[in-house]
Protein backbone atom coordinates (compact mmCIF):
# COMPACT_ATOMS: atom_id res chain seq x y z
CA UNK A 1 0.00 0.00 0.00
CA UNK A 2 1.35 3.42 -0.95
CA UNK A 3 1.88 5.94 1.81
CA UNK A 4 -0.70 8.70 2.24
CA UNK A 5 1.04 12.02 1.94
CA UNK A 6 0.47 15.20 3.95
CA UNK A 7 1.43 18.58 2.50
CA UNK A 8 0.80 22.09 3.82
CA UNK A 9 1.32 25.34 1.91
CA UNK A 10 0.95 28.09 4.52
CA UNK A 11 -2.76 28.06 5.43
CA UNK A 12 -4.00 27.71 1.87
CA UNK A 13 -3.52 24.01 1.29
CA UNK A 14 -4.45 21.32 3.75
CA UNK A 15 -3.49 17.65 3.82
CA UNK A 16 -2.48 16.21 0.47
CA UNK A 17 -3.24 12.52 0.79
CA UNK A 18 -2.68 9.58 -1.49
CA UNK A 19 -5.74 7.50 -0.62
CA UNK A 20 -8.30 8.98 1.77
CA UNK A 21 -8.60 11.76 4.33
CA UNK A 22 -10.88 13.31 6.90
CA UNK A 23 -10.98 17.09 7.38
CA UNK A 24 -12.39 18.95 10.37
CA UNK A 25 -14.21 22.30 10.15
CA UNK A 26 -12.26 24.39 12.64
CA UNK A 27 -11.01 27.86 11.81
CA UNK A 28 -7.57 27.51 13.37
CA UNK A 29 -7.09 23.77 13.96
CA UNK A 30 -7.43 21.84 10.71
CA UNK A 31 -6.52 18.18 11.08
CA UNK A 32 -6.68 15.09 8.93
CA UNK A 33 -7.72 11.49 9.51
CA UNK A 34 -4.82 9.52 10.97
CA UNK A 35 -5.49 6.39 8.93
CA UNK A 36 -2.73 3.78 8.61
CA UNK A 37 -0.17 4.72 5.97
CA UNK A 38 -0.32 8.49 6.35
CA UNK A 39 3.03 10.25 6.24
CA UNK A 40 4.15 13.88 6.04
CA UNK A 41 5.67 14.75 2.66
CA UNK A 42 8.28 17.43 2.12
CA UNK A 43 6.27 19.11 -0.64
CA UNK A 44 4.89 22.61 -1.06
CA UNK A 45 2.34 21.91 -3.80
CA UNK A 46 0.65 19.11 -5.69
CA UNK A 47 3.10 17.65 -8.20
CA UNK A 48 2.05 18.21 -11.83
CA UNK A 49 1.35 15.20 -14.03
CA UNK A 50 3.75 14.26 -16.78
CA UNK A 51 2.62 15.89 -20.03
CA UNK A 52 2.74 12.64 -21.97
CA UNK A 53 0.49 10.95 -19.43
CA UNK A 54 -2.50 13.29 -19.62
CA UNK A 55 -4.45 10.56 -21.43
CA UNK A 56 -4.85 7.27 -19.58
CA UNK A 57 -6.60 4.03 -20.50
CA UNK A 58 -10.03 3.55 -18.96
CA UNK A 59 -12.85 0.97 -18.91
CA UNK A 60 -14.60 -0.18 -22.07
CA UNK A 61 -11.94 1.18 -24.42
CA UNK A 62 -10.84 -0.34 -27.73
CA UNK A 63 -7.06 -0.72 -28.02
CA UNK A 64 -4.94 -1.72 -31.00
CA UNK A 65 -1.96 -3.63 -29.61
CA UNK A 66 0.90 -4.44 -31.96
CA UNK A 67 3.76 -6.74 -31.02
CA UNK A 68 6.37 -6.41 -33.77
CA UNK A 69 7.13 -9.79 -35.34
CA UNK A 70 4.40 -11.59 -33.37
CA UNK A 71 1.18 -11.39 -35.36
CA UNK A 72 -0.50 -13.97 -33.11
CA UNK A 73 -0.27 -11.55 -30.21
CA UNK A 74 -1.21 -8.42 -32.14
CA UNK A 75 -4.83 -7.40 -32.51
CA UNK A 76 -7.78 -5.42 -31.19
CA UNK A 77 -8.58 -5.64 -27.48
CA UNK A 78 -11.47 -4.26 -25.43
CA UNK A 79 -10.86 -3.33 -21.81
CA UNK A 80 -13.44 -4.50 -19.29
CA UNK A 81 -15.22 -2.35 -16.72
CA UNK A 82 -12.01 -2.13 -14.67
CA UNK A 83 -9.63 -1.34 -17.51
CA UNK A 84 -8.33 -4.92 -17.88
CA UNK A 85 -7.68 -7.07 -20.95
CA UNK A 86 -7.03 -10.76 -21.44
CA UNK A 87 -3.73 -11.00 -23.32
CA UNK A 88 -2.27 -14.18 -24.87
CA UNK A 89 0.47 -15.96 -22.92
CA UNK A 90 0.39 -13.61 -19.93
CA UNK A 91 -3.32 -13.66 -19.01
CA UNK A 92 -5.31 -10.84 -17.38
CA UNK A 93 -3.60 -7.44 -17.51
CA UNK A 94 -4.75 -4.35 -15.67
CA UNK A 95 -4.10 -1.38 -17.98
CA UNK A 96 -6.57 1.00 -16.32
CA UNK A 97 -5.00 4.33 -15.40
CA UNK A 98 -1.91 3.78 -17.56
CA UNK A 99 -0.80 5.92 -20.46
CA UNK A 100 -0.55 3.95 -23.74
CA UNK A 101 3.26 4.11 -23.61
CA UNK A 102 3.27 2.76 -20.05
CA UNK A 103 0.86 -0.02 -21.03
CA UNK A 104 3.17 -0.97 -23.93
CA UNK A 105 6.18 -1.09 -21.59
CA UNK A 106 4.24 -3.27 -19.14
CA UNK A 107 3.29 -5.79 -21.84
CA UNK A 108 6.82 -5.84 -23.23
CA UNK A 109 8.25 -6.51 -19.79
CA UNK A 110 5.96 -9.52 -19.32
CA UNK A 111 6.86 -10.95 -22.72
CA UNK A 112 10.60 -10.32 -22.47
CA UNK A 113 12.83 -13.33 -21.89
CA UNK A 114 10.35 -16.16 -21.57
CA UNK A 115 8.45 -15.54 -24.81
CA UNK A 116 10.37 -12.95 -26.85
CA UNK A 117 13.99 -11.85 -26.70
CA UNK A 118 13.46 -8.11 -27.24
CA UNK A 119 9.73 -7.39 -27.67
CA UNK A 120 8.62 -4.13 -29.24
CA UNK A 121 5.05 -3.26 -28.31
CA UNK A 122 2.77 -0.41 -29.35
CA UNK A 123 -0.59 0.36 -27.74
CA UNK A 124 -2.83 2.66 -29.78
CA UNK A 125 -6.31 3.69 -28.53
CA UNK A 126 -8.90 3.59 -31.31
CA UNK A 127 -10.33 6.89 -30.09
CA UNK A 128 -8.85 9.38 -27.66
CA UNK A 129 -11.58 11.32 -25.83
CA UNK A 130 -11.06 15.03 -25.15
CA UNK A 131 -9.27 15.76 -21.85
CA UNK A 132 -11.67 16.51 -19.02
CA UNK A 133 -11.82 17.55 -15.39
CA UNK A 134 -14.51 16.12 -13.12
CA UNK A 135 -16.15 18.70 -10.83
CA UNK A 136 -18.50 17.62 -8.04
CA UNK A 137 -19.76 18.43 -4.57
CA UNK A 138 -21.32 21.79 -3.82
CA UNK A 139 -21.24 23.35 -7.29
CA UNK A 140 -24.30 24.37 -9.28
CA UNK A 141 -23.55 22.18 -12.32
CA UNK A 142 -21.47 19.13 -11.36
CA UNK A 143 -20.11 17.03 -14.19
CA UNK A 144 -17.24 16.40 -16.61
CA UNK A 145 -15.80 19.48 -18.31
CA UNK A 146 -13.44 19.63 -21.25
CA UNK A 147 -10.14 21.37 -20.57
CA UNK A 148 -7.33 22.10 -22.98
CA UNK A 149 -3.95 22.17 -21.32
CA UNK A 150 -3.66 23.81 -17.94
CA UNK A 151 -6.58 25.48 -16.19
CA UNK A 152 -6.95 27.26 -12.85
CA UNK A 153 -9.09 26.04 -9.95
CA UNK A 154 -11.30 29.15 -9.97
CA UNK A 155 -11.96 28.84 -13.70
CA UNK A 156 -12.89 25.17 -13.39
CA UNK A 157 -15.31 25.88 -10.51
CA UNK A 158 -16.85 28.77 -12.49
CA UNK A 159 -17.22 26.47 -15.49
CA UNK A 160 -19.31 24.20 -13.24
CA UNK A 161 -21.69 27.09 -12.47
CA UNK A 162 -19.84 28.37 -9.42
CA UNK A 163 -20.17 27.25 -5.81
CA UNK A 164 -23.61 26.28 -4.51
CA UNK A 165 -25.44 27.77 -1.54
CA UNK A 166 -24.01 25.44 1.09
CA UNK A 167 -20.46 25.21 -0.25
CA UNK A 168 -17.67 25.05 2.32
CA UNK A 169 -15.20 27.44 0.73
CA UNK A 170 -12.21 26.39 2.83
CA UNK A 171 -12.67 22.72 1.93
CA UNK A 172 -12.16 22.45 -1.84
CA UNK A 173 -10.28 19.34 -2.95
CA UNK A 174 -8.15 18.54 -5.98
CA UNK A 175 -7.55 14.82 -6.52
CA UNK A 176 -4.66 13.86 -8.80
CA UNK A 177 -2.65 10.76 -9.70
CA UNK A 178 1.02 11.18 -10.59
CA UNK A 179 3.12 8.16 -11.57
CA UNK A 180 0.70 5.80 -9.86
CA UNK A 181 0.62 7.83 -6.61
CA UNK A 182 -2.70 9.39 -5.62
CA UNK A 183 -2.75 12.85 -4.01
CA UNK A 184 -5.51 15.02 -2.57
CA UNK A 185 -4.94 18.72 -1.96
CA UNK A 186 -7.45 20.78 0.05
CA UNK A 187 -7.64 24.51 -0.69
CA UNK A 188 -9.35 27.59 0.73
CA UNK A 189 -11.05 28.94 -2.37
CA UNK A 190 -12.32 32.04 -0.54
CA UNK A 191 -8.74 33.05 0.27
CA UNK A 192 -7.80 32.44 -3.36
CA UNK A 193 -10.69 34.67 -4.51
CA UNK A 194 -9.43 37.47 -2.24
CA UNK A 195 -5.98 37.17 -3.78
CA UNK A 196 -4.35 35.90 -0.58
CA UNK A 197 -2.96 32.87 -2.39
CA UNK A 198 -2.18 31.89 -5.95
CA UNK A 199 -4.90 30.14 -7.94
CA UNK A 200 -3.60 26.53 -8.27
CA UNK A 201 -3.35 24.83 -11.65
CA UNK A 202 -5.80 22.06 -12.52
CA UNK A 203 -4.86 19.47 -15.15
CA UNK A 204 -6.85 16.99 -17.28
CA UNK A 205 -7.95 13.90 -15.31
CA UNK A 206 -8.02 15.86 -12.03
CA UNK A 207 -11.11 15.61 -9.83
CA UNK A 208 -12.32 18.76 -8.07
CA UNK A 209 -14.74 18.46 -5.13
CA UNK A 210 -16.28 21.42 -3.30
CA UNK A 211 -17.12 20.50 0.29
CA UNK A 212 -20.44 20.87 2.06
CA UNK A 213 -21.05 23.08 5.12
CA UNK A 214 -23.39 21.29 7.57
CA UNK A 215 -23.19 24.29 9.91
CA UNK A 216 -24.75 26.61 7.32
CA UNK A 217 -27.50 24.11 6.67
CA UNK A 218 -28.19 23.87 10.40
CA UNK A 219 -28.29 27.65 10.82
CA UNK A 220 -30.72 28.02 7.90
CA UNK A 221 -32.91 25.35 9.47
CA UNK A 222 -33.00 27.24 12.76
CA UNK A 223 -33.78 30.58 11.11
CA UNK A 224 -36.55 28.97 9.08
CA UNK A 225 -38.51 28.23 12.26
CA UNK A 226 -37.39 31.22 14.34
CA UNK A 227 -40.20 33.56 13.14
CA UNK A 228 -42.72 31.08 14.47
CA UNK A 229 -41.27 31.40 17.95
CA UNK A 230 -40.85 35.14 18.40
CA UNK A 231 -40.42 38.45 16.64
CA UNK A 232 -36.61 38.12 16.86
CA UNK A 233 -34.11 35.31 17.14
CA UNK A 234 -31.13 35.23 19.50
CA UNK A 235 -28.81 32.34 18.73
CA UNK A 236 -25.92 30.85 20.68
CA UNK A 237 -23.04 30.62 18.23
CA UNK A 238 -21.56 27.13 18.48
CA UNK A 239 -20.70 26.83 14.81
CA UNK A 240 -17.22 25.50 14.29
CA UNK A 241 -16.85 24.29 17.89
Can you tell me whether residue 210 is helix, strand or coil?
A: strand
Query: 223 pLDDT exceeds 80?
Result: no
Check residue 35 and give its pLDDT: 56
For 163-217, what is each residue's pLDDT tens digit?
999 999 988 989 888 877 788 888 999 999 999 989 999 998 899 999 998 777 7
pLDDT value of residue 219 = 66
DSSP state of 113: T
The Cα–Cα gap between 35 and 49 comes to: 26
Write down the pLDDT at residue 129. 80
Mean pLDDT of 75-95: 93
- Beta strand 207-212 with 132-137 is parallel
Give the separation between CA 172 and CA 153, rounded to whole angstroms.
9
Per-residue pLDDT averaged across 107-134, rounded? 90
Residue-wise pLDDT tens digits, 18-44: 443 333 333 334 455 555 555 555 567
Structure confidence by residue, pLDDT tens digits, 45-82: 888 887 655 688 989 999 999 999 898 999 999 999 99
Domains and CATH numbers, the chain: 4-44+131-217 (3.10.560.10), 55-125 (3.30.1950.10)
Separation of alpha carbons 48 and 238, rounded Å: 39
Amino acid sequence: MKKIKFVRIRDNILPVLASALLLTACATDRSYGAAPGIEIAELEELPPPATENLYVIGPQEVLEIEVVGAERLSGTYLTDGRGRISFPLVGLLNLGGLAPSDAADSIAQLLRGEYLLNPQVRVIPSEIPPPTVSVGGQVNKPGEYTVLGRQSLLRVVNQAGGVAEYAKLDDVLILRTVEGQRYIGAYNIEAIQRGNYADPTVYPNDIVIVGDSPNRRRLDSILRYAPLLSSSAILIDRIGR
